[in-house]
């Protein structure tokens, strides 16, 4: 939704708002927002449909998210910035929980869950 507003009215929303979501790719403009939203939608729909490729893609995307948050997390630890530590730490925790859930046996086999048709 944000990318549509950015494409319709250039300059209305600063590109810096996407920094936490895109990890530096916000410099590519609103098209990167649109691409990220499209990929997230396809992977999310695939996970709802219980496709194995979507589970693997979700693990890869979450792993990339952890890798991109580690420099800011470790920098905040080294500089003893408690306020700057909270947001990256929460991001790492959420992504690790997503990876754990997607590697969990029931979600790996998609057994016992009703399939959405």
Distance CA 113, CA 117 (A): 12
Tell me the whole-structure pTM to 2 decimals. Answer: 0.69
pLDDT of residue 68: 84
Domain ranges of the chain: 1-48, 50-110
Q: What is the pLDDT of residue 70?
A: 85
Express each pLDDT in 69-89 by its tens digit: 888 888 888 888 888 788 888
DSSP state letters, 55-77: HHHHHHHHHHHHHHHHHHHHHHH
103-112: pLDDT as tens digits: 875 655 654 4
3-state secondary structure of 51: coil
């Amino acid at each position: 939704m944000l990318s549509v507003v950015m494409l319709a009215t250039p300059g209305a929303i600063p590109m810096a708002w996407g920094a936490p979501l895109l990890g530096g790719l916000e410099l590519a403009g609103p098209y990167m927002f649109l691409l990220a939203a499209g990929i997230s939608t396809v992977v999310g729909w695939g996970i709802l449909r219980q496709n194995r490729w979507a589970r693997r893609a979700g693990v890869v995307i979450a792993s990339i998210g952890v890798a991109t948050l580690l420099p800011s997390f470790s920098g905040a630890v080294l500089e003893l910035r408690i306020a700057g530590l909270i947001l990256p730490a929460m991001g790492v925790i959420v992504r690790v929980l997503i990876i754990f859930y997607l590697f969990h046996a029931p979600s790996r086999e998609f057994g016992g869950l009703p399939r959405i048709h």
